Amino acid sequence: MNFVFKLLRSAVFLIAAPAIAGIVHPDELLLTNVEQLTFSSMGFEKAGEAYFSPDGQMISFQAVPKGENGYQIYTLDLNSREVRQISRGAQTCTCSCFHPHGDKLIFAASPQDWMTEASGKYQWDLTAYMNIYEANIDGSEAVALTSGAAYHAECAYSPDGEHIVYASNEDGAMNIYVMRCDGSDVQQLTYTDHCYNGGPFFSPDGTKIIFRADRDAPHYLQIYMMDRDGLNLVQLTDNAAVNWAPFWHPSQDVVAYTTSIHSHRNYEIYLLSISTGEFHRVTHHPAFDGLPAFNQEGTKMLWTSKRGEDGSSQIFIADFTLPVDWETKEN
């Protein structure tokens, strides 16, 4: 299969965001100044999985353009609200992440559909041909870091920018790998052959990796943590729900994640304290809430939600504080 990756160098546009009521829930005490960042009026069927740039002034995200089926990668400047399409020529893309220096980003791209939404549920199709690319933050000079007819995606940089952790089924099963930022020195970290392992992120100090896996029951994902070399595996959640999209709070002791513990049609965001094992609910809206991400200071949170006026998946941002008793423990 020949896949030519093309770039859109000048797709820049500005949209004035309309005001929307009903996006704030009174029980969401950790979130203030909730704001919707993306809208269908921007030309997006849906948008999600957003991450902050190192300086917190920009976000990257994926969105499906109107009339299309696959996700493309975009950036949004939080000050000017300028939106720029980074990817072009791929049928679908996913998993963007800024380099810690802020001058590049990575994402995965494929000529086939990767993620679909059906009957209110999210499902993943692990395509046979998805690879990781690194590009300048304007989308120029994209370079493939992986190759071949396998799934390589769900990628994130280490805090020093020297390594990339990602998920792949290149060995016949979905496992977690790490490579140098130029694609060299690939090392496999997990070795299961009966389940999915994915969605990895390095801890803020680079010593740990958090990820999701359905090791006990198919599709019932739990959150796991291991050393960056794959040793000392610890299971952090153990329930009858789907737990996914874990993301570190910069405190390093706290992880935010998405869970179906209340309903498989109403995912919510929870916090987990690694040191105490305590859980704390963050979102309470009856619509879908998931895919949380923090800025480097831990003062703001991005997430994907259907709480907007038209009920489509879109990106939201809010000021964030840890639970008061957790802040005391942190100090």
| Domain residue ranges in the chain | 28-249
- What is the pLDDT averaged over residues 25-32? 96
* Cα–Cα distance for residue pair 331/326, rounded to 1 Å: 9
Q: Domain spanning 28-249: which CATH class is it, in words?
A: mainly beta
Is 7 or 100 the better-scoring residue by pLDDT?
100
Can you give the pLDDT at residue 137? 94
Whether the predicted pLDDT of 112 surpasses 60: no
Q: How far is C-alpha 316 from the geometric centre of its chain's CA atoms?
A: 13
pTM of the full predicted structure?
0.89
* Cα–Cα distance for residue pair 3/114, rounded to 1 Å: 15
Give the chain's mean pLDDT. Answer: 89
Can you give the pLDDT at residue 18? 42
Q: Are 30 and 322 in contact (CB under 8 A)?
A: yes
- What is the pLDDT averaged over residues 40-64? 97
Q: Are 76 and 314 in contact (CB under 8 A)?
A: no
Could you tell me the pLDDT band of residue 111, with boundaries at 50, 70 and 90? confident
- What is the pLDDT averaged over residues 207-213? 98
* Order of all β-strands in the sheet with 104-110: 92-98, 104-110, 131-136, 143-144
Can you give the pLDDT at residue 129? 82
Whether the predicted pLDDT of 120 surpasses 50: no
Question: N- to C-terminal Cα distance for the chain?
Answer: 54
* Order of all β-strands in the sheet with 82-85: 12-14, 82-85, 72-77, 58-65, 44-52
- What is the pLDDT averaged over residues 229-257? 97
Can you give the pLDDT at residue 8? 34
- Widest CA span in the chain: 55
- What is the pLDDT averaged over residues 158-171? 97
Can you give the pLDDT at residue 326? 86
The number of helices, as runs of H, and strands, as runs of E, in the chain is 1, 27
Measured CA to CA in angstroms, residue 13 lies from 49, 103, 138 at distances of: 20, 21, 13
- What is the pLDDT averaged over residues 57-76? 96
Can you give the pLDDT at residue 117? 40
